[in-house]
Amino acid sequence: EAQVTQNPRYLITVTGKKLTVTCSQNMNHEYMSWYRQDPGLGLRQIYYSMNVEVTDKGDVPEGYKVSRKEKRNFPLILESPSPNQTSLYFCASSLFLGDRNSPLHFGNGTRLTVT
C-alpha cells in the first residue's frame, strides 16, 4: 500500500531533550516536506527536500533540522525542543511539487508536546 509513515504518533517530552520524528514513504517520491499545524495558523512549512541530499528551509525552520540521505526517509530533528514547538506535525511527499497530477500525500501526523 502506498503511504507515508510517521513515527511516533504522540510524543511528550521535556525542554532541551533532543528528539527525532521519522518519516518514510514507499512511493519513490522526489519531493518531501515537513509542516506544523497550529490553531488559526494553518499548515506552515518547516523544511523541504527536492531530492536526496537536497534540503531547504521553509517558512518556519528555526529550531529544526532535517536530512535526506535516502530517497524514502526524511527525519525531522529537534536538537533542543522548546514549549513553542508543541504542535501537530505532518510529513508529506509527492512525485513532483505542485503538479496537478502529483498531489501531496501526508503522513498521519505526530502530536508533540514539550513541557
Partner 1 sequence: RKEVEQDPGPFNVPEGATVAFNCTYSNSASQSFFWYRQDCRKEPKLLMSVYSSGNEDGRFTAQLNRASQYISLLIRDSKLSDSATYLCVVRDTGRRALTFGSGTRLQVQP
Among 1, 10, 62, 100, binds partner 1 (CB under 8 A): 100
- Least CB distance from residue 35 to partner 1, whole Å? 8
Whole-angstrom distance, CA of residue 88 vs CA of residue 98: 23
Spatial contact of 87 and 39, defined as CB atoms under 8 Å apart: no
Whole-angstrom distance, CA of residue 92 vs CA of residue 13: 23
- Least CB distance from residue 3 to partner 1, whole Å? 11
Stretch touching partner 1 by CB under 8 A, among 17-25, 60-68, 71-79, 95-103 = 95-103
Whole-angstrom distance, CA of residue 49 vs CA of residue 56: 6
Q: Is 19 in the site for partner 1 (CB under 8 A)?
A: no
Any idea what DSSP says for residue 85?
Answer: G
Stretch touching partner 1 by CB under 8 A, among 16-24, 39-47, 60-68, 75-83 = 39-47
Binding mask 75-94 for partner 1 (x = CB under 8 A): -------------x-x----
Spatial contact of 16 and 79, defined as CB atoms under 8 Å apart: no
Q: Which contiguous run of DSSP H or E holds residue 104?
A: none
**Where does this chain bind partner 1 (CB under 8 A)?**
33, 35, 40-45, 48, 50, 56, 58-59, 88, 90, 97-100, 103-104, 106-109
